[in-house]
Structure 1
Amino acid sequence: MVKRYYCDFCDCSYPYSDEAFKKHRTGHHHIKQRRAHYDKFKNARERLEDEAKKSKCRRFLSGQECSFGDSCVFSHLTQAGTEALQQLALEEERQERKMQIPTAQREGLDLSVDSWLKQRKVPLTEDSDALPGPAPDPVEILAPLNTPLPPALLSLPRLPPSLAPVTPQCYLQVEFAEWG
């Protein structure tokens, strides 16, 4: 049995030789199929630029059917199609510019320290040692930081230590090892 190359663009196979490989790769059918494949991944701006370089197809504009279809070297884009493609290109540009803005700013989130502390219900003061009244319980400060486990994890009988929920008491029972 002879080895054979397989071309994904053309969906065909041919003999395993350098001559057959070069002949296939430079063939009209392969070039057309390859171009059609990569044209699917072009954005609206690139498609609009390609169509602007082409002249209009006379058969298509006269109302007849062009026998070449999408592989025609002339443009089959009508005035309405051009306008729709321009609008699509503008929308893609807006979306691209919007994605360059950081997520928090794009969604209008406040990233200040004050908003973070308000969310955690911890007061911001100039001197934390000079708080009036008794010192806050460290367990109460850490409690808002706990996040609940997803329901899928709650149904498991034994969670690994890395997934086990952490309680404020766990922080208070930490034993520090001395190094050195």
Structure 2
Amino acid sequence: MGGKSFYCDYCCCFLKNDVNVRKTHNSGLTHNMAKLRYMRRFEDPRKVLEQEDNKEPCTRYLNGKYCKFDLMCNSTHYNEEQLEQLRKIVKRSEKAQRSGVNGKLKNVQKIMLPWYRYKEGNNKTMNIRRLPESLKPINFDRINDDCLTLEWG
């Protein structure tokens, strides 16, 4: 046996590192369902809620049985609690967008970087820049004679 293996992130399995084996695996139904399930995590919650709200509940899946259609099922696999959580997430995201657009980002604070000097009254930066110690030029006047007499090794 031996040789290198190919790992499928969606299916969490190792395959023989062969082009034909990978093509066959990637075109399979189980791989496509696993990929769809993974990509569904990153979809817009509003879109998912619209899709799932209009569907009837899947009686087989919600009774603890196996639904052979999985994500392609015409019925929803979300119970009422999960749909309510999804509604809350959508409301929170809409509220955040409205406060960001209408409030013109009121809650965003100006980041005060330590190497800039700020005027006290109107928080505008001055042209004088204060660098951190590691970026300042070397000041040879500050070096003691003791530092020059040290022996290494």
TM range (shorter): 0.5 to 0.7
Give TM-score scaled by structure 1 length. Answer: 0.49
In 1: Cα distance, 2:65 partner to 2:29 partner: 19
In 1: Cα distance, 2:83 partner to 2:66 partner: 22
Residue equivalent to 2:66:
67
- Does the CA contact (< 8 Å) of 1:48 and 1:86 recur in 2? yes
Paired residue secondary structure (2:121): helix
* CA 1:95–1:15: 2 relative to 1, 3 Å: same
In 2: Cα distance, 1:60 partner to 1:6 partner: 30
Q: Is there any run of 5+ residues in structure 2 with no aligned partner, and where?
A: 111-118, 138-153
Instruction: Judging by fraction of residues, say which structure has more strand.
Output: 2
- After superposition, give the CA deviation of every residue in 1:1-47 in whole Å (9 maximum; x if it has no partner): 43432211112222233321211001122112112212222342132
- Does the CA contact (< 8 Å) of 1:4 and 1:13 recur in 2? yes
* CA 1:59–1:68: 2 relative to 1, 3 Å: closer
Residue equivalent to 1:37:
38
Residue equivalent to 1:175:
none
Residue equivalent to 2:86:
85
Structure 1 stretches of at least 4 aligned residues deviating more than 4 Å after TM superposition: 106-109
Paired residue secondary structure (2:15): strand
Paired residue secondary structure (1:97): helix
Q: Is there any run of 5+ residues in structure 1 with no aligned partner, and where?
A: 110-116, 121-141, 154-158, 164-180
In 2: Cα distance, 1:68 partner to 1:102 partner: 47
Residue equivalent to 2:8:
7
- Cα shift at 1:118: 7.9
In 2: Cα distance, 1:60 partner to 1:9 partner: 22
User: How many residues align structurally?
Assistant: 122
Residue equivalent to 1:57:
58
Residue equivalent to 1:27:
28
- Aligned-CA RMSD value: 3.8
- After superposition, give the CA deviation of every residue in 1:68-121 in whole Å (9 maximum; x if it has no partner): 49x452313344543442232122112123334543x34699xxxxxxx8815x
- Does the CA contact (< 8 Å) of 2:60 and 2:67 recur in 1? no
Residue equivalent to 1:18:
19
Instruction: Judging by fraction of residues, say which structure has more helix.
Output: 1
How do 1:131-170 and structure 2 match up within 5 A? 159-160=133-134, 162=136
Q: Bigger radius of gyration, 1 or 2?
A: 1
